[in-house]
Amino acid sequence: MQYHSLLITGGAGFIGSHVIRHLLQAHPEVRIVNFDALTYAGNLENLRDVEGDARYTFVKGDIRDRALVERTLREHGVDAVVHLAAESHVDRSIANPMEFLETNIMGTASMLHAAREVWGDRKDVRFYHVSTDEVYGSLGEDGLFTEETAYDPRSPYSASKASSDHLVRAWHHTYGLPVVISNCSNNYGSHQFPEKLIPLMIRNVRDERPLPVYGEGLNVRDWLWVVDHAAAIDRILTAGENGRTYNIGGLNEWRNIDLVHLLIRLVDERLGRLAGHSERLITYVKDRAGHDLRYAIDATRLATELGWTPSITFEEGLGATVDWYLANSEWLDSVTSGSYRSYYEQQYGAR
């Protein structure tokens, strides 16, 4: 690794914690600062296994606090930023859009400005922006998103991420800041906040609570194991070309309702219940406003230029994921304690 001191924003979240764990394992010489505001989605429990590592430091801070970001970059001699901090849940962006614009757009602008203030015109540095396939909009029955697909974001969340991508490109073209961007499909794995489809369904099957399926459950998502996403980020950070975008995905499309049936089977099996026991919990609810029909990623560029492909099958990854949540019931319950109420509960009341 050509970078020595990395600042990871959002490292206490789902993907960020996997990225930190991966980079510390893969690069013995690297030092990492985790810069995170610890919102409801950030949890230092996610990094218990690395907190004793002398190469790892945590700084509690908001990416919009430019003075603190600049001070942290200077104090730690940071030469690469991996920017993941964001508000990440689409339903929340529909209910509360301003928070998303402030964190995702102004927060990214603040990070870019701070990086330029501290780095000046240095070329031995890198600003890596982690983004989403949702910037490309929604697909019909056919086709895949490529890096050439025109941006067409349709939710406050995806519009805020698209804006942040544009800002990153603007800082590259205008100021020559060395940047890379990746746009990834839906991640699954351990430590994901249980408001997202997969951990929410696992938890509700476990607890025999309603399984809220939006609309008719026919929307399609392309699922990638979070550990493979972390490996792709490592590859792009170390070998990607400045100014270039890389799509990341696993060619693994599932209709939501089919995935819910699969999760019911996997959880029921592990809890020793009869086959089909929890099917009765499926509850069709009002559709998400502006619900994108289908996402699917063409990751050919990443495979051919940088040699990355997913390491495990969905069956293996999902089985391991279900095992992790059932073995870590305490984590699942503690992150949702306190004032947290699921989107379903907010809409339909607790059941």
Binding flag, residue 160, ligand DAU (CB under 6 A): no
Rounded distance, CA 285 to CA 283, Å?
6
Work out how close the CB of 297 gets to ligand DAU at its nearest, in angstroms, rounded to a whole number.
Answer: 9
* Candidate segments 47-55, 174-182, 196-204, 314-322, binder of ligand DAU by CB under 6 A: 196-204
Bridge partners of residue 283, in order along the sequence = 212
Strands (E) across the chain are located at 5-9, 31-36, 56-60, 80-83, 126-132, 179-184, 186-188, 211-214, 220-225, 245-248, 253-255, 282-285
Catalytic residue among 136, 157, 188, 325: 157
Residue 20 — φ and ψ, nearest 5°? Answer: -60, -50
Which residue from 214, 223, 314, 325 is in contact with ligand DAU, where contact means CB under 6 A? 214
What residues from 147 to 186 belong to the interface with ligand NAD (CB under 6 A)? 161, 184, 186
The entry of ligand DAU, ligand NAD, none near residue 90 (CB within 5 to 8 angstroms by kind) is ligand DAU
Is residue 133 annotated as a catalytic residue, yes or no? yes
Residue type, 15: I
List, in order, residues 6 or more apart from 253 with CB less than 8 Å away: 220, 221, 222, 294, 296
Binding flag, residue 15, ligand DAU (CB under 6 A): no
Is residue 142 annotated as a catalytic residue, yes or no? no
Query: What DSSP letter does each residue of 99-118 carry, written as one string?
Result: HHIIIIIIHHHHHHHHHHHH
Query: What DSSP letter does each residue of 248-312 carry, written as one string?
Result: E--S-EEEHHHHHHHHHHHHHHHTTPPTTGGGGGEEEEPPPTT---B--B--HHHHHHH----SS
Catalytic residue among 62, 91, 133, 195: 133
Q: How many CB atoms lie within 10 A of CB 319?
A: 15
DSSP 3-state assignment of 198? helix
Which token pair is 229? Answer: 């996403």
Binding flag, residue 213, ligand DAU (CB under 6 A): yes
Cβ nearer to ligand DAU, comparing 114 with 165: 165
Which residue from 62, 133, 147, 165 is in contact with ligand DAU, where contact means CB under 6 A? 133
Rounded distance, CA 163 to CA 153, Å?
9
Residue type, 184: C
Work out how close the CB of 221 gets to ligand DAU at its nearest, in angstroms, rounded to a whole number.
Answer: 5
Binding flag, residue 321, ligand NAD (CB under 6 A): no
Answer yes or no: are the C-beta atoms of 78 and 6 closer than 8 Å.
Answer: yes
Which residue from 126, 196, 206, 235 is in contact with ligand DAU, where contact means CB under 6 A? 196
Work out how close the CB of 36 gets to ligand NAD at its nearest, in angstroms, rounded to a whole number.
Answer: 5
What residues from 58 to 117 belong to the interface with ligand NAD (CB under 6 A)? 62-64, 84-86, 88, 103, 107
End-to-end CA distance of the chain: 50
Work out how close the CB of 13 gets to ligand NAD at its nearest, in angstroms, rounded to a whole number.
Answer: 2
Taking residues 19 to 58 in sequence order and writing x for each that binds ligand NAD by CB under 6 A, - otherwise, the string is -----------------xxxx-xx----------------
Is residue 134 annotated as a catalytic residue, yes or no? yes
* Candidate segments 92-100, 130-138, 261-269, 316-324, binder of ligand DAU by CB under 6 A: 130-138
Binding flag, residue 325, ligand DAU (CB under 6 A): no
Catalytic residue among 91, 134, 222, 268: 134
* Candidate segments 57-65, 72-80, 82-90, 326-334, binder of ligand DAU by CB under 6 A: 82-90
Q: How many CB atoms lie within 10 A of CB 205?
A: 26
Which token pair is 46? Answer: 């996610």
Q: For the chain, state the CA radius of gyration.
A: 20
Binding site for ligand NAD (CB under 6 A): 9-10, 12-16, 36-39, 41-42, 62-64, 84-86, 88, 103, 107, 130, 132, 161, 184, 186-187, 193
Binding site for ligand DAU (CB under 6 A): 88-90, 132-134, 185-186, 196-197, 200, 212-214, 219, 221, 256, 288, 295, 344
Give catalytic residue positions. 133-134, 157
